[in-house]
Structure 1
Amino acid sequence: MSDASDILPPSLDLPPHLSAQKYFFVCTLTVAAWDTLVLSPRSWRLFRTKGWPFLKIAYHFLRIFMPVEFTIVGVAFFDTKWSQETCSHFFLFEPICTAILLAVCSAVHVIRINAIYDKDRRVFTPMVALYAIQILITAICCGFYRSTPLLIGQGCIAEPKHSWVGIYWISATMLYTASFGLALSRAIRSLKIKKISYWKLMLRDGLNLYAAVFLVNLVNMLFWFIITPTGPEDPIRTIVTSMSAVLTASMTLRIILSVRGTLEKGGSYAVNSAAHSHSHPSTHVISTHRPAQGPVLSLQQPGTGTFNVPLGATESKTHDWVDDKASDQMGMSEVKGEGDFPVESGLGTPTSEDAPKGVKITIDTETAF
């Protein structure tokens, strides 16, 4: 009985690690395609918003660049007609494009973290330093890749020449670790202002998104240094790199979509924007239509009754019916009818005979949560 390797072509007779990598890359392409499809409605709504801040530009760039990159990489990986000569001119495509993809994703993280910390230089400066280190290291490491020596029909895969090239992913993992840690710290601090459950806190601040980016890059980094290849033709070190890049871009897109309000300067933090979001008007009516009892202060709020508070007898000419504290809160006053109301005189007695019967004052009050 002849060996299966003598019957099957090289494209089907794959080593175990290479076969696993091809299956895993199919999963990567599925995630990229599904993510592009699911986010299409929200992408269109974002596209129609006014202005083009950096986060909006980065969103649409990642949404197009990520599936295009890995579609091209997939063609090179699965095309059975690619020779090693062709691959030698193409293998740098994936590490260079992935470096660009990670650079844009990391820029989004830096800008967003800076925004939720209210532009704190003590946070922004270290994040920019990590970002600069990532750009420098990934650019250098792209020069230390090579084409995996596979048989014709087994595909074109780029792999590192040395194990230390794994710092390519260490630099990105360092930044995403800092991003996740800072986002988590900011979320915990916000509980002192507004108490909510941890589940709602995670969803409100997108902590699951930051955690996903951190974990997928951590796993990828561990694969680089823990997994040992069986030979020069074994690309096992790069088995998770494509999935890591796709998930990093996917979660970063959702981080942008989770920003509340405008995307200018990275947006704002949820607690800050919600602190003044609830207000309700109240109406205070000062009436002088009861000469026998003196002026009356009527307090009226939506959903409640009207409360009449006598302010004093008519003969009390020196009574001051305007409280200093209340006057500071007055947002709008409306005088119905014609005539002058000398508030300083004490009773607010009309100066003309055809004066109106009262003064209506509307006050807007705000409640912080």
Structure 2
Amino acid sequence: MSLPGLPNSLNLSPHLSAHKYFLVCTLTVAAWDTLVLSPRTWRLMRTGEWPVLKVLFHFLRVFMPLEFAVVAVAFFDTKWTRNGCDKFYLFEPICTAILLAACSAIHVIRIHAIYERSRAVLMGMSTLFAAQVVVTAICCGFYRSVPLLDGQGCIAGPKANWVGIYWVAPTLLYTTSAVLALTRSINSLQAKPLSAWKLMLRDGLNLYGAIWIVNMVNMLFWFIMKPDDDRDPIKTIVTSMAAVLTTSMSLRIVLSIRGTLVHGGSFALTGSTVPSNSSRATHIISARSGVPTNSTHTPHTYTLDDMRSKPEPVWGDADSKNTAPGDDKGALPLPERTVSPQNLGVKVTIDREVGYDSYAK
């Protein structure tokens, strides 16, 4: 409903007004996400490796805020003309298709990795990814410029209801990704029981769930909400927020990976055979570095479980003059050579898998 005397920039329909408010929320989320992830982005940048996930991460970090900054200028600039909008309106659907493709590539790589590089999983996820790229590319040709009045902004809308398959394709991929991630986590409970809360945080199930929810809500707006007329942008109210949250959660999926990002990382329990309450550390007991390097003596290696199950040796028995002949219980084994007392000692090395974001700044 229009009111006489108001400029076009303020004389907005209820749905158009809601669209503008929702885009402000979208920009706020994009700006907040950019600032919050900056320290972790810098630490990831400093790592030496550049696998595909790292490249996608930094691409999305730059591309997403730039896209929606441009979209916001076109939407809120009261001097934007209809002729200018007719030349610009395809910017958002095309850029969003690129954004979704990068996010979906992260899901394909990560799900393939947590299933220990299963060929069947790779083929299934790759098929959904290829379908998404083709469908979104085709649907971009069936957008139009929503016929708003001068000063009300520039919005891209669908020419027909079926153009909503633009969002159906990525939603199917994210649904499959969430189901596979949940299934993998549930199956891991047989090896290491955890509470539902700890399992969710360990495997990032909340991230997959958030992506699925926001895309399903967007689908409801596309196929259930009915526009009042051809100027009603109700179908595209949630699209920008869906793209931003999908990107934000996908970035956090990359950051939640422990260890290297090469080949998509690994699942939390992959290769783990030690009990949940034991450490992966290995302690090596040997002479200090002052011993000549041409020594053929091999240091003894103990796991923490071995250290717990065996009595701790008495270091003073190694060269004690009071040790009776043949009574070497608890004595530190020495090589067949003379070692000066100042060269005796313990060397402890810790072999642990540590994520890049656990290092100090």
Q: TM-score, normalised by structure 1?
A: 0.78
SS in 1 for 2:270: helix
In structure 2, which of residues 69, 72, 80 is the aligned counterpart of residue 71 of structure 1?
69
Aligned to 2:221: 223
Q: Which runs of 4+ in 1 moved over 3 A?
A: 273-277, 279-283, 299-308
Higher relative contact order (CA 8 A, sep 6+): 2
- 1:253 to 2:251 alignment: yes
C-alpha separation between the residues in 2 aligned to 1:190 and 1:4?
59
Q: Tell me, in whole angstroms, the C-alpha distance in 1 between the residues paired with 2:307 and 2:68.
A: 60
CA distance in 2, matches of 1:193, 1:5: 66
Residue in 1 that maps onto 2:337: 337
Aligned pair in 2 of structure 1 residues 4, 248: CA closer, same or farther (>3 Å)?
A: closer
Cα deviation for residue 74 of structure 1 reads 0.3
Alpha-carbon distance, 1:337 to partner: 2.8
Residue 354 of structure 2: aligned partner: none
Please list the CA deviations of residues 34-91 of structure 1 after superposition, one character each: whole Å capped at 9, or x if unmatched.
0000000000000000021111010000000000000000000000011111000000
Identical aligned residues as a percent: 60
Q: Deviations over 1:302-354 (max 9, x none)?
A: 6944599xxxxx9xxxxxxxxxxxxxxxxxx852436xxxxxxxxxxxxxxxx
CA offsets per residue over residues 261-305 of structure 1, 9 Å max, x none? 01101011111155466245497xxxxxxxxxxxxxxx9946944
Kept after mapping to 1: 8 A contact 2:2/2:12: no
Give runs of aligned pairs for residues 26-175 of structure 1, distance below 5 A.
26-175=24-173
Higher strand share: 1
1:278 aligned to 2:276? no
Counterpart-to-counterpart distance in 2, 1:22 and 1:274: 50
Conserved 8 A contact 2:64-2:99: yes
RMSD: 3.0
State whether structure 2 residue 238 is matched by structure 1 residue 236: no
Identify which range, 196-205 or 140-149, moves more after superposition.
Answer: 196-205
CA contact (8 A) 1:80 1:153 kept: yes
* Structure with the greater alpha carbon radius of gyration: 1
Instruction: State the match for 2:358 in structure 1.
Output: none
Unpaired runs of 5+ residues, structure 1, are: 284-298, 309-313, 315-332, 339-361
Q: Distance in 2 between matches of 1:234 and 1:269?
A: 46
Structure 2 unaligned blocks of 5 or more: 286-301, 318-325, 327-332, 339-346, 352-361
Deviations 1:220-268 (A, max 9, x none): 0111000000000001000000000000000000000001101101011
Number of residue pairs matched by the alignment? 308
Letter in 2 for 1:335: P
Distance (whole Å) between structure 1 residues aligned to residue 123 and residue 88 of structure 2: 37
Alignment of 1:288-307 (within 5 A): 301=307, 304-306=311-313
Q: Distance in 1 between matches of 2:190 and 2:115?
A: 15
Query: Contact 1:282–1:301 at 8 Å: present in 2 too?
Result: no
3-state SS of paired residue (2:181): helix
